[in-house]
Amino acid sequence: MKLLSCAVVILLIALGCMLFEVHSTSAASTTLANVAASMQPGTWAQLTTNNINPIFSDSQGASRVINPYAEYIKWDSVGHRLYFLGGDHYLVGTPVMRHVQYDENTNRWSLLPQQSWFTAGRSHGYDHAAIDPVHRYFYFRPPGDMFIRRWNIDTGEWTTLATNDVIRYHACCNGIDYFPELNGIIWVNDENVNLGGVTKLDLGTNQWVRVGQAAAYQMGDPHNFAEYNPVYKVLVFGGGNDVNGGDGRKIWKLNASGQVTALKDAPVGLGVTHAIFTVDPVSGKYLVFTESQQFYVYDVVTDTWSLQASGSAVPIWTSVYNGPAGGNPLTGVIGGPIDTYGVNVFVTCNGENNCKVNLYKHSAGGGTPPPPVPAPFDYSLSNNGNKTVTQGSSVNETITSTLVSGTTQSVSFSASGLPSGATTSFSSASCSPTCSSTMTISTAASTPSGTYTITVTATGAVNHTTSFSLTVNTASSGPPPSSLTFAAKCAQTGVLKCFDFDNVTQLNYGWPGKNDFNSSSSACDNDPFLMTQKFNNISRDRSGPGNVYATIQNNQCVYPVIDNSTTHSGAGSLKFTIGSNTDANSSGYFTEVFQRLSNGTFGYIAPGSPLGNVVYMQFYQRFDPNFISIPYQCLGGGCTGWKQEIMYGNPPLGGSSSDIEVTMWNTWLRGVPDLYGQSGSDDYGIQDVRGCPYNTPGYAEPPCIRYKANQWMEFTVRIEVRGTSNAPQSRVQLWVNGQLALDYPSAKIAWGSSEGDGIGQVMLTPYHTRKDPAQTHPVGYTWYDDVIVSTQPIAMANGSTPPPSSDTTPPTVSITVPTSGSPVSGTSVNVSATASDNTGVVGVQFTLDGANLGSEKTAAPYSVSWNTTTVTNGSHILRAVARDAAGNSTTSAPVTMTVSNTPDTTPPTVLISGPANSTTASGILSVTATASDNVTVAGVQFKLDGANLGTELTAGPWAVQWNTLTAINGAHTLTAVVRDAAGNTATASPVTVQVSNAPGSVISAFVQTAGLSNNGGGGNIAAAFNAATNAGNLIEAAVSWGDPSSLTCSDSQGNVYTTATTQYDSAMNQSLGICYAANIKGGTDTVTAGFSGHPTYRRILIHEYSGIFAGNPVDAVAKNISNGTTAANS
């Protein structure tokens, strides 16, 4: 029927039945309520709303609407509004996202205020939103950022919440949702290629915590989803883009106890762009709409899927997208539950100015009543009493905020009423009641004595104050604490380097500019002070005396300087300035080698080194309040924290970001000094011996030891390099002000590698990885003084001394066979030794004339076979070197041998045994040979048209596979070259083969893949194939990394790689590159991607393909849009 007063057209679609229209009206309620009330289970209805096209359409974007690459819309059951935040594929411009709302009372869509962070590169909605209508908050994760922003629905205020420093990988696009029973925002994404993890932002503490296990849940990458179920109090998550096949169908369930369980694979791929995964607010069944235009119902209780409808029976699909935004029938579609009316809502934009709203009712029954409005947030503030302090000392006061009503919110602390010269810091600058923060008041020697009223203010949604009395007493004039002076420490045995920074003559400056050819700016060349200094380059081989390097920030030259007004002892210290709007290298660095030797080499610390395997370093550092309290911001995610010092490999191979590196840092800006290894991939924990655990609010002291403002703090490090290189066997210790803070016995240090013989250099720097140069903040300062590097323990200020090496007894070793003076000859002379140690021998290395003979033997019997035909006749010296786990080593007495071999001048013989001459071949052809020699055949190298065919074979059978599809049709020549151990060679008579492959017979096929990811910084990343590759095939490597470094590829086979394409997304600071090697040699292979810098978030995927001609061009363009530019952040 038709009513003249009708204002709404309802399209009811009975699933599996025909479409019909009903016209209806209501004068008593809202348009949305009327439509929902008229619906029967299993039906659809179109909801006509006002102003939808201007709000969702955007003519500047690739899709011309704001909801591609998104799947959510959130309902506020208290305010009766819908919310969405997202944007189109933008190429340039800001802002690019829109925050929009639908108001049920007005039946109208409107635009909410734009924010400065709605920037290019962060334009899509994905599954990045959550809503808590009870406490009036909407949450959104800006794509690529490692934090969540919170919007107060009632006040319109945005707040940035804590950085997610728990999740292991910086994924652009993941799933989040609010889980009321866990009082947190759940964050799900890939952590290691196709293994994901779950973390939670605890809304009570504003801290991130791990849920379940790290990198334990198979899923795709990226575009994961997370959907909370209000009926069954669970959250289903997973999906995403396939990495290794089938990943996008993996789903998991998180319950209200925090337990994660696996669910059956979905019948279709899930995740943003592949499906809309929403929940029926009445039955609790999940409603899943796929890119193949199918509608499934998923029952999480029985873990079963059922197909409800497909195609035109579901009115939400789009049809106009086939490229710019990813192109499938879900592009431009978002959906979510409206629990108030027991329906689900879908917004579909099928192109610009063609948007509509559909409702679907799945189950019988009405909606749920709105949640009750909670009590307002309030708290009390208290302290633990009056305090007394002596001039020049500090005192702690505990400030406690106790929750009185409502749901906890963060409050921040500040203090007033301090006397002259006094400063204050808080162990936690903010926390969420009920909580405590330790307030440290530091006085100067000049602070006037007397009694002062100190007021602490807690600022938040509600402000409170608490006050106490501080009495400052006059300092006594007694003698200073008894301890060794800096000069006395430097005079001790074993000291390698001492720096008091009393005079600028200790500093040899280098700087970017005309001398260093790495800057177009003349800021440093024209710096008045540097113009008085001789330029000293700091090369990797440390051939010159340079030890200080400047940087250019805001077109100003910045570098560490001698400060004669602030010292720990003596006349000066080394001062660094951390200016506003500066990047990671804010203030330059100081670096020095441990020991320069007269022969041009450098001393180092490692097992077997003349300096031993233990190094001690001590320095004093002072921090001004700004430097340790500024909430620094970083590009591409959370801040890792500023460095203090780095010890790394000796020249000429050592680098400050390497597998030998041990670094001291402000752990994730948590205010506690700590150490890590190998560019962050070797995590030592946080002050592990003090019970200072991860993710505790405030990192209170005690048990932790925190940085103190305006005080000289003593840091003493002991590193014992032991065990096997790069094995978790070395020991790293840290004392702060004489208190043991860290003792980690399982550190990995790759001594004796391509990055150095051992630890041999130190760097002092407040370098802060990914520091955001756009951030305006107060200027900070830090000072270093009294730096000592030694092989022996260094006395600490409290009178204690770090322990020496626990094991100083070297092993014993002697060669038993052969005996000295005996003649030897032949290809297999047995060399044996015996070795013993008080704690155990971990390795014996034989040497011949000073060079290693064979590999190190790590278990008895210690013996090696020596082919004497590889050396000249005459006298040669054998030795054996034994070492123990502590790094002690002993070299055996020499054994002198006389080699007497009859020269071998007889060449080997070789014959191609297959194929026969004049054979016509296609496809894969087996090439075989027979070879012999009067002593032994050392190797056979097959050749095709004069070029190597595969790698040399050093053992029979002598055969190789030739993929003739990699050669052009026509005549080709096969031969083989054989050699013996004496270097005699012979070449087989050539065999001619006629290649005849039919047109179109080339079939390209995927063979195998492998991959690796590493979130730490480094100069390269490598992945190895699990199986041997085949000669003639093609290897392709897809690489991503977190800065604009250039890319080169290589592999262990020596294949030649071409870089097909590199693209850098400046907004996301993420580069992508593809390189390939055609007509490979074949065999086991490790592919390495090398970078010109040391980026973080490195990732490599390698693939082997067969049937690809060496000369064929490789398609280097992906996801083309109309102007030929690849869209970022999709």
* Half-sphere exposure in the Cβ direction for 462 (13 Å, CA): 18
In this predicted structure, what is the pLDDT of residue 481? 40
pLDDT grade for 285, boundaries at 50, 70 and 90: very high
For residue 1042, what is the DSSP state?
A: S
**Rounded distance, CA 513 to CA 524, Å?**
7
Closest CA relative to residue 590, chosen from 560, 553, 624: 560
User: CB atoms < 10 A from the CB of 932, how many?
Assistant: 12
Could you write out the DSSP letters of every residue in 757-824? SSEEEEEE---BTTB-TT-----EEEEEEEEEEESS----TTS------S--PPPEEEEEES-TT-EE
Q: Which long-range contacts (CB under 8 A, 24 or more apart) does 662-666 make?
A: 662/717, 662/719, 662/732, 662/747, 662/749, 662/759, 664/715, 664/717, 664/734, 665/640, 665/641, 666/628, 666/641, 666/642, 666/707
User: For residue 1069, which phi and psi values (nearest 5 degrees)?
Assistant: 55, 45
Predicted confidence (pLDDT) at residue 172 exceeds the cutoff of 50: yes
Looking at domain 909-995, its CATH class is mainly beta
pLDDT tens-digit profile of 745-800?
A: 888 998 888 888 899 999 999 999 888 999 888 888 999 999 999 988 898 877 66
- Contact present, 140 and 174 (Cβ < 8 Å): no
Looking at domain 486-507+560-790, its CATH class is mainly beta
Could you write out the DSSP letters of every residue in 597-627? -TTS-B--BSTT-TT-SEEEEEEEEEE-HHH
pLDDT grade for 190, boundaries at 50, 70 and 90: confident
C-alpha distance from residue 924 to each of 178, 1028, 1030 (Å) = 57, 17, 11
In this predicted structure, what is the pLDDT of residue 695? 54
C-alpha distance from residue 578 to each of 289, 558, 632, 834 (Å) = 52, 9, 11, 58
pLDDT grade for 689, boundaries at 50, 70 and 90: confident
Buried b (16+ CB within 10 A) or exposed e, 992-1029: ebebebeeeeeeeeebebbbbbbbbbbbbbbbebeeeb
- Contact present, 1021 and 1088 (Cβ < 8 Å): yes
Buried b (16+ CB within 10 A) or exposed e, 861-891: ebbbebebbeeeeeebebbbbbbbbbbbbbe
User: For residue 277, which phi and psi values (nearest 5 degrees)?
Assistant: -115, 100
pLDDT tens-digit profile of 624-662?
A: 988 888 888 888 767 888 999 999 999 888 887 888 889
Predicted confidence (pLDDT) at residue 268 exceeds the cutoff of 80: yes
CATH of domain 378-473: 2.60.40.10
* Structure token digits, residue 465: 């104050």
For the residues 563-573, what does the mean pLDDT come to? 90
In this predicted structure, what is the pLDDT of residue 210? 93
Q: What's CA 709's distance to the chain center, in Å?
A: 30
C-alpha distance from residue 741 to each of 29, 686, 715, 759, 1117 (Å) = 66, 9, 10, 22, 52
In this predicted structure, what is the pLDDT of residue 15? 28
Predicted confidence (pLDDT) at residue 564 exceeds the cutoff of 50: yes
pLDDT tens-digit profile of 310-365?
A: 999 999 999 888 644 457 899 999 999 999 999 999 999 999 999 999 999 999 88
For the residues 985-1008, what does the mean pLDDT come to? 84
User: Tell me, which fold does domain 50-360 have in CATH?
Assistant: Neuraminidase (2.120.10)
Q: What's CA 941's distance to the chain center, in Å?
A: 43
**Rounded distance, CA 638 to CA 147, Å?**
7
For the residues 181-209, what does the mean pLDDT come to? 90
* Structure token digits, residue 628: 């340790």
Predicted confidence (pLDDT) at residue 11 exceeds the cutoff of 60: no
Buried b (16+ CB within 10 A) or exposed e, 570-587: bebbbbbbbbeebbbbbb
- Contact present, 1127 and 1121 (Cβ < 8 Å): yes
For residue 215, what is the DSSP state?
A: T
pLDDT tens-digit profile of 1061-1117?
A: 788 765 546 789 999 998 888 889 999 999 988 888 889 999 998 876 544 444 444
For the residues 161-190, what does the mean pLDDT come to? 89
Predicted confidence (pLDDT) at residue 494 exceeds the cutoff of 70: yes
Residue type, 709: A
The dihedral built from the CA positions of residue 401, 404, 408 and 414, taken in this order, carries a sign that is negative
In this predicted structure, what is the pLDDT of residue 1069? 65
For the residues 482-496, what does the mean pLDDT come to? 83
In the chain, the percentage of residues whose pLDDT exceeds 70 is 90
Put simply, whether the predicted model's pTM sits higher than 0.75 gets the answer no
In this predicted structure, what is the pLDDT of residue 754? 82
For the residues 857-863, what does the mean pLDDT come to? 87
Reduced DSSP (H G I as helix, E B as strand, rest coil) percent helix, strand, coil of the chain, to 5: 5, 45, 50
pLDDT grade for 477, boundaries at 50, 70 and 90: very low
Predicted confidence (pLDDT) at residue 20 exceeds the cutoff of 80: no
Run of H or E residues at 228: strand 225-229
Closest CA relative to residue 579, chosen from 571, 570, 588: 588
The per-type count for the chain, helices as H runs and strands as E runs, is 4, 80
| 795 vs 176, more confident | 176
**Rounded distance, CA 417 to CA 396, Å?**
16
| 301 vs 119, more confident | 301
In this predicted structure, what is the pLDDT of residue 91? 52
Judge: domain 1005-1106, CATH 2.60.120.
yes
* Structure token digits, residue 1093: 């810098």
**Rounded distance, CA 604 to CA 335, Å?**
62
Q: What is the mean pLDDT of the chain?
A: 85
Predicted confidence (pLDDT) at residue 390 exceeds the cutoff of 90: no
Could you write out the DSSP letters of every residue in 406-435? SS---EEEEEE-PPTT-EEEESSSEE-SSE
Lowest mean pLDDT among 386-390, 487-491, 545-549, 578-582: 386-390
Predicted confidence (pLDDT) at residue 1128 exceeds the cutoff of 70: no
Q: The tokens 């074993």 sit on which residue?
A: 494
Predicted confidence (pLDDT) at residue 916 exceeds the cutoff of 90: yes
In this predicted structure, what is the pLDDT of residue 1117? 43
What is the three-class DSSP state of 580? coil
Residue type, 522: S
- Contact present, 293 and 56 (Cβ < 8 Å): no
Find the farthest-apart pair of alpha carbons in the chain and give their distance in angstroms, rounded: 119
**Rounded distance, CA 1057 to CA 1055, Å?**
6
In this predicted structure, what is the pLDDT of residue 667? 80
Closest CA relative to residue 687, chosen from 625, 744, 764, 624: 744
Predicted confidence (pLDDT) at residue 302 exceeds the cutoff of 80: yes
Domain extents in the chain: 50-360, 378-473, 486-507+560-790, 812-896, 909-995, 1005-1106
Architecture of domain 812-896: Sandwich (2.60)
**Rounded distance, CA 1126 to CA 1130, Å?**
9
In this predicted structure, what is the pLDDT of residue 23? 30
Could you write out the DSSP letters of every residue in 147-208? EEEEEETTT--EEEEEE--SSSS--SS-EEEEEGGGTEEEEEEEEETTEEEEEEEETTTTEE
Same topology, domains 378-473 and 486-507+560-790? Answer is no
**Rounded distance, CA 316 to CA 168, Å?**
37
Run of H or E residues at 848: strand 841-848
Predicted confidence (pLDDT) at residue 27 exceeds the cutoff of 60: no
| 369 vs 613, more confident | 613
Predicted confidence (pLDDT) at residue 5 exceeds the cutoff of 90: no
**Rounded distance, CA 116 to CA 26, Å?**
42
- Contact present, 121 and 1129 (Cβ < 8 Å): yes
Beta bridge partners of 590: 548, 764
pLDDT grade for 701, boundaries at 50, 70 and 90: confident
What is the three-class DSSP state of 32? helix
User: CB atoms < 10 A from the CB of 816, how many?
Assistant: 16
Buried b (16+ CB within 10 A) or exposed e, 1035-1052: bbbbbbbbbbbebebbbe
pLDDT tens-digit profile of 427-438?
A: 788 888 988 888
Predicted confidence (pLDDT) at residue 80 exceeds the cutoff of 80: yes
Buried b (16+ CB within 10 A) or exposed e, 213-250: ebbebbbbbbbbbbbbbebbebbbbbbbbbbeeebbbb
Alpha helix (H) residue ranges in 721-768: none
